[in-house]
Structure 1
Amino acid sequence: MMNFCQCRKWPNLPQNKNKIYQRLYHATYRSLSTLLSPLCSQVLFNDNNIQSQYISPKGLSGRVIPIGTFPSTILALEYLYGILCPIRNLPPRENAIQSFDLARIAYDEKYLITHIEFIAHLGTNTRMTFFTSIAFDKNYKVCGYDGQIRNPGLTLDPRTNEQREAKINTICNVTQRFCTGTLQQYLTFNDCQQFLRTQIPYGSYDRADQGNVICRFVHTYFVPLLPTIHCPHVGPTGGGACTDKTIDFYYNQPNFLACAHKQ
């Protein structure tokens, strides 16, 4: 773990660069700290306008491969905090972050951007490594992120038929409870089960933004928060989120770090 004493001085750099990198380190560590409970839930729901302390007024966008791409502030916040954070009034997350280690950090020479490797310690006694670039505005508040997860399938994929079936049942329970009326996706719970068992691949967390069961399971975390957006994602069509994508899709995305302030 890299601590503050190891990275707060760069003796061969001009004094102004030292100050910038020191502030970037603090901003990065502070941003990672918002992933922990209860702060993550407070930021997600913007309790007492707390987002203004961490998120740029310019907005937020980002992606985490292979989970998804989030071009708007509401989605970028929801995915950042909604998957691994315990959300009040909702069932507990099976893989909530308990703590993290900031293993490595590097600094862009021209822009307020850090490139980091951090290890998240999850509630299931599991570790997960993230490689992420974070962009900051002139006030060192986050405006963009672009990350990847190391071996998510090996880390999180269900190992038994019982575990796989439990995820299917979770999707169907959530869908039938929250996706009603014009948002209805399946006629019955059994129709939902049958579709997920026979019509699409089960998939893996290595392909968690594709047209499979795992993608739909990930989106069950968000359905209770924003049913109008996420009900189609857990339904038969995948709603554009849980659909198969080509490799070109990932190269044709905007630069999520373009919002970074120039040093």
Structure 2
Amino acid sequence: MHLNSYLTAALTAALSLSTTVLAGGKHHPKNFYARNLKTISSIYNLTVFPNNVPIITNGPSAVPKGLFSANASGRVSPLGNFTGFEDSIEYFFALALTPNAPSFSVFTSAKVVSFSSGCENVAASVAYLETRVLNPNSTDNGKYLSTLKQVAFWRFDDDGAVLAYDAWIPNLNVWNFLARGEADITNPFVQQAFIQRICPTIQSLCTGANQQYADVPTCISSMTAKPFGNYDEVWGDNVACRTIHLILAGVRPDAHCPHVGPDGGMKCVNEPYNHGYFDDEELFGQPTGKTFVCPDKEEEHDPYRLELV
């Protein structure tokens, strides 16, 4: 009886202390793991066709509340940095596939296959985006093409919206080959065919104050003089970078038409590797090594962190 009474009293005191600490301290979501997983899963689910269409058509107003902070910024290697809410949602949703010739490829499913969240503000994930043909008029309709993999670290604000992200798409060039028509972009004839196709589109999208080239022949001449590049190193003064930003120009021409122009508009430019991929403090507003580390883990983390020279 004495032991039971002691245990009961101790448990009551512990619960009382916990309640007092929680009530007087900062609010921490009880189920942040599930909340963060739901947010990330929802983001990737909106890349699946036709879930992405309303956002492509209507822009920021079509993005569900609570997914991205108004100040969201991040890096997606090998594509580049995306600063602000509109840049961020355009990367995730406007670049998601729609069924266009020649490949008619789309994301048909998006699964978060690996996930960890050790605190309410930080998570890490691996997502697989399955890519198939969507063309009811073709015998290839439904054919599996490939899977895009994205590895990402995430930081959430106090309301659970994504505030920062640092993501990587491995083997993007191979995926692009398999999923976008198996065009060998190392072949000069294929490169020229790309240029011949995108220049008329640039001229039709980028008009008035957004016009970048005098005419289609001028565009073709300018593009032909540049390296074509590849999709494992998109960030540069090359044609591959401009094919990415041409998609975005269809959504927000005033922002992205300069990026497909002759000088790259500060996006399709030769970004120094040592800056573009390591400008964490400038991009995230925190010292390197702080953004995607749980606060209570920093002391454990710091002694083992390798400093880049």
The TM-score, its normalising length taken from structure 1, stands at 0.80
- Residue deviations 1:38-66 (CA, integer Å, cap 9, x gap): 33233455589553434345432222111
- Residue deviations 1:5-26 (CA, integer Å, cap 9, x gap): xxxxxxxxxxx89733233223
Gapped regions of structure 2 (runs ≥ 5): 1-27, 134-144, 178-182, 297-309
The TM-score, its normalising length taken from structure 2, stands at 0.69
Whole-angstrom distance in 1 between the partners of 2:130 and 2:205: 31
Over the residues paired in the alignment, what is the CA RMSD in angstroms? 3.1
- Which one has more relative contact order, counting CA pairs under 8 Å at least 6 apart? 1
* Matching of residue 192 in structure 1 with residue 219 in structure 2: yes
Point out the more displaced range, 18-27 or 180-189: 18-27
Whole-angstrom distance in 1 between the partners of 2:56 and 2:71: 14
Structural mapping, 1:73-222, within 5 Å: 73-86=85-98, 95-107=105-117, 109-123=118-132, 125-157=145-177, 158-159=183-184, 160-197=187-224, 199-222=225-248
Q: Is the 8 A contact 1:63 1:76 kept in 2?
A: no
The amino acid that maps onto 2:131 is L
Q: Is the 8 A contact 1:137 1:261 kept in 2?
A: no
Structural mapping, 1:23-38, within 5 Å: 23-38=35-50
- SS of residue paired to 1:144: strand
Match in the other structure for 1:69? 81
Whole-angstrom distance in 2 between the partners of 1:82 and 1:64: 14
Whole-angstrom distance in 2 between the partners of 1:165 and 1:181: 26
Whole-angstrom distance in 2 between the partners of 1:261 and 1:40: 32
Question: Which ranges of 4 or more aligned residues in structure 1 deviate by more than 6 Å?
Answer: 90-93, 259-263
Q: Is the 8 A contact 1:202 1:212 kept in 2?
A: yes
* Matching of residue 242 in structure 1 with residue 268 in structure 2: yes
Please state how far the C-alpha of 1:244 moved relative to its aligned partner.
0.4
Q: Is the 8 A contact 2:105 2:131 kept in 1?
A: yes
Q: Is the 8 A contact 1:65 1:147 kept in 2?
A: yes
Please state how far the C-alpha of 1:172 moved relative to its aligned partner.
0.3
Q: Is the 8 A contact 1:136 1:261 kept in 2?
A: no
Match in the other structure for 1:11? none
- SS of residue paired to 2:65: helix
Going from structure 1 to structure 2, the CA distance change for 1:93 and 1:177 (only over 3 Å counts) comes to farther
Q: Is the 8 A contact 1:31 1:54 kept in 2?
A: no
- Residue deviations 1:188-225 (CA, integer Å, cap 9, x gap): 2112112211x210100011121100001111101122
Whole-angstrom distance in 1 between the partners of 2:273 and 2:59: 39
Aligned residues: 244
